[in-house]
Amino acid sequence: MSDPALLRSRAEGLAQALPPLLADAEHLAQAVILGEHGRRRAGMSDEFWQYRPAHAGDEARMIDWRRSARSDAHFVREKEWQAAQSVLLWVDDAASMDFSGAPDHPTKADRARVLAMAVAVLLMRGGERVGLSGTGVPPRRGPLQLLRLAEAFSTAPTGADYGAPEARGMAPHSRAVFLSDFLGDLAPVEAALAKAADRGVKGALCQVLDPAEEAFPYDGRTVFESMGGTLRHETLKAGDLRARYLDRLATRKARLADLARATGWHYSTHHTGEGAQGALLWLYRALERVR
Amino acid sequence: MWAIGPIGFSAPVLLWALAALPVLWLLLRAVPPAPIRRRFPGVALLLGLTDDETQTDKTPWWLLLLRMLAVAALIVGFAGPVLNPQDRQPGQGPLLVFIDGTWADARDWPRRMDRVAALLDEAGRDGRPVALIQATDLPQMGLPFQAAEAWMSGLAGLEPAPWLPDPQALDAWAAGLEGGFDTFWMSGGLDYEGRQDLLAIFDAAGTVRVFESPRPLLALRPAVFADGAIRLTALRTPGAAGAEVTLAATGRDPAGVERVLARVPATFDGAATEAGVDLVLPPELRNRISRFSVEGVRSAGAVTLTDDSLKRREVALIAGRENREGLQLLSPLHYLQKALAPTADLIDGTLLDVIQANPDVIVLADVATLSGGEAADLQAWVEEGGLLLRFAGPRLAASDVSRDEEDALMPVRLRAGGRSVGGAMSWGEPKQLRPFAEDSPFFGLSVPSDVRVNAQVMAQPDPQLAERAIAALTDGTPLVTRKRLGKGQVVLFHVTANAEWSTLPLSGLFVQMLERLAVSTRPARPAAAELEGTTWVPEAVLTAFGELGEAGALSGVPGGTLADARPGPGLPPGLYAGDDRRLALNVIGPQTTITATTWPARIPVEGMAVARETLLKGWLLGAALVLLGGDILASLWLSGRLRGARSGAVALLALGLFMPGQGHAQAGDDALALRATSEVVLAHVITGDARIDDVAQAGLSGLSKRLYQRTSIEPAAPIAVNLETDELSFFPFLYWPITATQPLPSTEAYAKLNRYLRTGGMILFDTRDGDVARYGGGSPEGRRLQQLARPLDIPPLEPIPADHVLTRTFYLLQDFPGRHASRDVWVEAAPPDAERAEGMPFRDLNDGVTPVVIGGNDWAAAWAIDDQGAAMFPVGRGYAGERQREIAFRFGINLMMHVLTGNYKSDQVHVPALLDRLGQ
């Protein structure tokens, strides 16, 4: 760390990745206009909630004299209670996310990161605390947290072929967002969701898939390899496998949807061939609903 | 050469390689197509799936077959296959190439010449002496044997003749032949006199081979006019039943252009060798026809020229007297109608209408006086070649026409009253006709003895009377007089056209006289006796190919030989002009039949379509290439690589190889023209500096938007104009930002710019340096502008005066700021004599729009807006800056108003004066 050259090159590498990611996320979040979200009950905040007759015990300075002057009774002005929520993000950083079926759309990992950052930007603008699941980046708020998140997203992927969700460090009754292709083993996902459900954590599962994974546009004699090269399947007529592959994919989606329903989560599929806007809106609304 | 059927091989050894094909089959079969490796995250879902079919690990049989065929085609191709290999046995001794060279050969003459060339080639290789003889163009005597190469050079000049060989000449020539020789007879397929004898002589001299086209020969007999229709008869040698030919009538259309005027199909029923068809055409069209032909046959036999015999003369009959009802036999026109109706087309109507129709002949029966206009028109018509035929009668006798001085439309002066002879109240007997004199057109007609003349009008004895009289009575008084007038003539019968004054109209002589005067159409073909002693000059001659050519300096032909001549070297078929009519001599006469040649069985007859030696190597190698190409596509498809964009690329490549390229430049020009002209469009000149161009575009967008919001000008999106390639005249206004590094336009572009400026266009030059430069000096942009504008046709300039119309075309302005607020804006100078009238706020300035406005205020930057409609550049500071931007927009609006409405606002100063004048 003391080597200035090394430090500088690392800083430069970081700076290279950070601004585009942040800029993309900010750009994406720009499209959603939101205000502070009230808790629909009186509390500490800036927003007006209601006038109520002054009780005994209310301090004199709490009385809203302007309102009280219009009638004989004394009124106290109450503000809406606004509370910050912790939202934990998990973005799959396994090798399988590094796939892009066509040069004109981004890899799944890129899209997932941008979505996660955009959600973070939105949530922070809404006054929430955002962090990463696991122990790396605990939920906080402020622009610095955004930079931390971006840095965390920009770290090199783990070597694994398929990722498993991280369910550690979840505060009870917080919110969580899992972004992954969910193409690997489903058991860790189930375990994570079960753990989250135990703690009353609700959230959203967003399955990011490439259009090629949805359409399976392959034919002829083909050797399929996973991104990490650990899995391998050879076929002589890839076209024949299409129906069965799609069948399996549908089964997997149904399974994920069932899981989400059982644990009170929301589940949706997003394709990298489409714009990120729709997925962001869905994510935002999904988080809003469970609040 | 080793051969299978019609195919021989030049290198048959190579065919042994075909035996290796089964081995190749096994080899190829064992090697399946290579797999593709794909990275695919979804592989986790694929694990455990098995393929349904397993046979695809071997190459499919059809792909194998494709490859086998390709390899087989390669092997066979390199073995040098030849279709119809010709085993030539070199001939011995001299060779006679005998060509009929008649019109029957003309239809496929080039192919015949090709065949002869091949023959000569072969003879040259074999070293045989050759004599090339045309039956229609025989040498003096014997056979002029030469080397084949010597004949070769003259081959291109060889042409068939449009006639048949002369039997006598043929006999004489054949009698002089001696020695042994082989003969190639290029037969036209048409039998002619003397052919059999010739064949016997050739046969005796050596072997005879005959080349003849198997296609039937077509010919056309002369057209005959009968019963109001043209009868056409097509002839042929025996051929396929039900064959249909199209006969075309060709002539000049009213514009004088030769074209096909009518087409009619003719069908040969069964094995018939004649096909007749009737063609009915309106007389105007019929008279235009110059020839008939069988369409698609290039042969003189298939063409028949028409002469005067087909032309029906149009005769207009005008009577001076109303028909007396019920007295038809007394009608002045009755006998004329009877005489002319079978052979001519009669026209009725008033004289003026009739002259419009331009008939060949106008007959005036007892018409005395003509109105001035009629007489002038009629005289003009006669001078253009018309024949005016007048008959005397009571009216003419009673009138003063041509009494004291000769009327232009009368051949002689007339004495008053006429005379009548042999009547109840007169002495003497009715007069007979004197036999016709030699110089009379009626010479040779016999005068029937029963023709009597009772009354006539008398000619004044003038000096020319003797030469003008073409028929006279026995006592010498002229009966028919004639006068030439221009190209036409005026003929007067001194008797009536009915039987009142004479019995002439009742006799056959009357009809013959009309014929001689070319009033009526003559019989189809004059008899030999009739033609005796006349001379006919060829006007146009027919080539063997059926084309009409100039006669050139061919000498005249005596009529006697023309009568029933057959065309020959001295008498080519064509159109012969005589004294007053034309005669067509056709290859096929009315009685001609055409007979196909028959050859004895011992003589081999080759069709024209001889089997040629064809090298198949190229075709086979090409086929192999195509098969291999197909193999590539099939392999790609099998292995799944032929998908999506890549298959598109392959298809495009294939198309690109086979489709000819096409230009699209025109479409682009049209699109620009449409965009620029369908709405008002502001335009800026492309400077080459992308940033400046973008700003100019954005600036004009901003100005367009303001114009749209505030005025009735509703411009479309601005257009960038390339001075070199785009048409400028579509744009009312050009914004031209000047950069210091801008290239100078080409000469053509300057010509375009000057034309643009002269025809009312306006250019706003913007040096964009108003903040640093004053009066165009000093800055690099200013200097560049001076260079740019030097070749431009720009009038004297002055700084914009305070009363310039630009200050008030829409807004009242005194400043013209852009992003900079310099006052230096230059426009065309006002004329020096512009004076401010009394009581007017402005000078009465010149008309028109200033062609240029020059400044440096960087207006585009002030006007520029981005996609969201926000200003792109800051102007000035705070509110004052926004005010400056607003004034900049107002300047732009004033400028556009000035461009589009001219000096309209300047004219407004005259409104008080106009109102005053109107008394308001």
Contact A239 B643 (CB under 8 A): no
pLDDT digits (tens, 9 = 90+) for B538-563: 888 888 888 888 777 777 777 777 76
> What are the angstrom distances between the C-alpha of B477 and each of B407, B432, B458?
20, 11, 7
Closest Cβ opposite residue A221 in set B33, B44, B46: B33
In the structure encoding, which two tokens stand for residue B105, read together? Answer: 């050969």
Query: pLDDT-derived band of residue A69, with 50, 70 and 90 as boundaries?
Result: very high
pLDDT at B693 (0 to 100): 92
| pLDDT at residue B421 greater than cutoff 80 | no
Assigned domain for A74 exists: yes
pLDDT at B659 (0 to 100): 47
**What gap in Å lies between CA A77 and CA B628, rounded to an integer?**
89
pLDDT at B846 (0 to 100): 54
- All residues of chain B having their beta carbon less than 8 Å from the beta carbon of residue A238 are 640
pLDDT digits (tens, 9 = 90+) for A2-56: 355 665 565 555 445 444 556 566 666 665 555 455 555 565 556 677 888 888 8
pLDDT at A81 (0 to 100): 61
Query: How does the average pLDDT of chain B come out, rounded?
Result: 80
Closest Cβ opposite residue B41 in set A226, A232, A237: A226
Query: pLDDT-derived band of residue A104, with 50, 70 and 90 as boundaries?
Result: confident
Same domain, A158 and A207: yes
The mean pLDDT value for A58-73 works out to 87
**What gap in Å lies between CA B223 and CA B234, rounded to an integer?**
10
Q: Is B31 helix (H, G, I), strand (E, B) or coil?
A: coil
Chain A residue with minimal CA distance to B36? A222
**What gap in Å lies between CA B646 and CA B122, rounded to an integer?**
55
The mean pLDDT value for B69-76 works out to 88
- All residues of chain B having their beta carbon less than 8 Å from the beta carbon of residue A213 are 40-42
Interface test with B, best of A99, A108, A224 (most B CBs within 10 A): A224
Q: Which of B182-196, B525-539, B572-586 has the lowest mean pLDDT?
A: B525-539
Q: How close does chain B come to A174, measured CA to CA in Å?
A: 32
| pLDDT at residue B887 greater than cutoff 50 | yes
> What are the angstrom distances between the C-alpha of A102 and each of A113, A210, A212, A273?
19, 9, 8, 9
pLDDT at B664 (0 to 100): 45
Q: How close does chain B come to A115, measured CA to CA in Å?
A: 20
In the structure encoding, which two tokens stand for residue B769, read together? Answer: 């340096």
| pLDDT at residue B893 greater than cutoff 90 | yes
Same domain, A52 and A119: no
- All residues of chain A having their beta carbon less than 8 Å from the beta carbon of residue B44 are 162, 183-184, 226, 231
Q: Which of A94-98, B69-73, B460-464, B774-778 has the lowest mean pLDDT?
A: B774-778
Q: List where CATH 3.40.50.12140 sits in chain B.
A: 668-910
pLDDT at B653 (0 to 100): 62
The mean pLDDT value for A160-167 works out to 82
**What gap in Å lies between CA B291 and CA B306, rounded to an integer?**
5
For residues B163-191, b (16+ Cβ closer than 10 Å) or e, as one string? bbbbeeebeebbeebeeebbbbbbbbbbb
Closest Cβ opposite residue B46 in set A99, A220, A224: A224
Percent residues over pLDDT 90 in chain B: 6
DSSP class of residue B438?
T
Contact A225 B37 (CB under 8 A): yes
Closest Cβ opposite residue A162 in set B33, B36, B44: B44
Contact A221 B40 (CB under 8 A): no
Query: pLDDT-derived band of residue B750, with 50, 70 and 90 as boundaries?
Result: confident
The mean pLDDT value for B110-127 works out to 84
**What gap in Å lies between CA B898 and CA B804, rounded to an integer?**
11
- All residues of chain A having their beta carbon less than 8 Å from the beta carbon of residue B59 are none
Contact B43 A225 (CB under 8 A): yes
Of A265-274, B268-277, B640-649, give the range with the top mean pLDDT.
A265-274
Same domain, A129 and A234: yes
The mean pLDDT value for B674-695 works out to 88
Per the confidence metrics, is the pTM higher than 0.80? no
Same domain, A165 and A128: yes
Assigned domain for A208 exists: yes
Query: pLDDT-derived band of residue B599, with 50, 70 and 90 as boundaries?
Result: confident
Number of domains in chain A: 2
B639 contact partners, CB below 8 Å, separation of at least 6: A220, A221, B33, B34, B35, B36
pLDDT at B579 (0 to 100): 67
Could you tell me if B770 and B884 are in contact, meaning their C-beta atoms sit under 8 angstroms apart? no
Assigned domain for A43 exists: no
CATH 3.40.50.410 fits B95-216+596-612, yes or no: yes
Same domain, A54 and A107: no
Chain B residue with minimal CA distance to A253? B45
ipTM greater than 0.95, yes or no? Answer: no
Same domain, A161 and A67: no
Same domain, A113 and A58: no
The mean pLDDT value for B629-641 works out to 79
The mean pLDDT value for B253-258 works out to 78
Of B29-43, B227-241, B606-620, B803-817, give the range with the top mean pLDDT.
B803-817
Same domain, A157 and A18: yes
- All residues of chain A having their beta carbon less than 8 Å from the beta carbon of residue B644 are 217
Give the fold, CATH level 3, of B668-910.
Rossmann fold (3.40.50)
Q: Could you give the residue ranges of the DSSP H alpha helices within B611-689? A: 617-638, 644-658, 665-678
**What gap in Å lies between CA B517 and CA B336, rounded to an integer?**
13
Contact A235 B46 (CB under 8 A): yes
CATH 3.40.50.880 fits B313-516, yes or no: yes
Q: Is A194 helix (H, G, I), strand (E, B) or coil?
A: helix
B410 contact partners, CB below 8 Å, separation of at least 6: B390, B401, B402, B483, B490, B492
Quote the distance between the C-alpha of residue A215 and its chain's center: 26
Q: List where CATH 3.40.50.880 sits in chain B.
A: 313-516
Assigned domain for A14 exists: yes
The mean pLDDT value for B499-510 works out to 85
Superfamily of domain B218-305, CATH level 4: Immunoglobulins (2.60.40.10)
Chain B residue with minimal CA distance to A239? B640
Same domain, A128 and A229: yes
Higher-pLDDT residue of A260, B580: A260
Query: How does the average pLDDT of chain A come out, rounded?
Result: 79
Same domain, A95 and A58: no
Task: Name the residue type at position B158.
Answer: L
Contact B36 A233 (CB under 8 A): no
Quote the distance between the C-alpha of residue B644 and its chain's center: 49
Same domain, A161 and A75: no
Assigned domain for A41 exists: no
Same domain, A146 and A261: yes
Contact B53 A221 (CB under 8 A): no
pLDDT digits (tens, 9 = 90+) for B292-313: 888 888 888 888 888 776 667 7
Query: pLDDT-derived band of residue B661, with 50, 70 and 90 as boundaries?
Result: very low
Assigned domain for A265 exists: yes
pLDDT at B703 (0 to 100): 93
- All residues of chain A having their beta carbon less than 8 Å from the beta carbon of residue B31 are none
Q: Could you give the residue ranges of the DSSP H alpha helices within chain A? A: 4-30, 65-68, 108-125, 143-154, 187-198, 211-215, 238-263, 276-290
Percent residues over pLDDT 70 in chain B: 85
The mean pLDDT value for B347-351 works out to 78
pLDDT at A14 (0 to 100): 47
Assigned domain for A42 exists: no
**What gap in Å lies between CA B148 and CA A52, rounded to an integer?**
130
Q: List where CATH 2.60.40.10 sits in chain B.
A: 218-305
> What is the extent of the structural domain holding A211?
4-36+84-290
Contact B49 A244 (CB under 8 A): yes
pLDDT at A254 (0 to 100): 93
pLDDT at B707 (0 to 100): 92
Q: Is B344 helix (H, G, I), strand (E, B) or coil?
A: strand
**What gap in Å lies between CA A202 and CA A174, rounded to an integer?**
7
Counting one residue from A and one from B, how many pairs have CB atoms under 8 Å apart? 108
| pLDDT at residue B504 greater than cutoff 70 | yes
> What are the angstrom distances between the C-alpha of B265 and each of A227, B238, B244, B246, B437?
79, 19, 7, 4, 50
- All residues of chain A having their beta carbon less than 8 Å from the beta carbon of residue B37 are 222-223, 225
Assigned domain for A94 exists: yes
Closest Cβ opposite residue A222 in set B36, B42, B644: B36
pLDDT at B608 (0 to 100): 57
The mean pLDDT value for A219-226 works out to 83
C-alpha dihedral, B749 to B752 to B758 to B760, nearest 10°: -110
- All residues of chain B having their beta carbon less than 8 Å from the beta carbon of residue A227 are 39, 41
| pLDDT at residue B663 greater than cutoff 50 | no
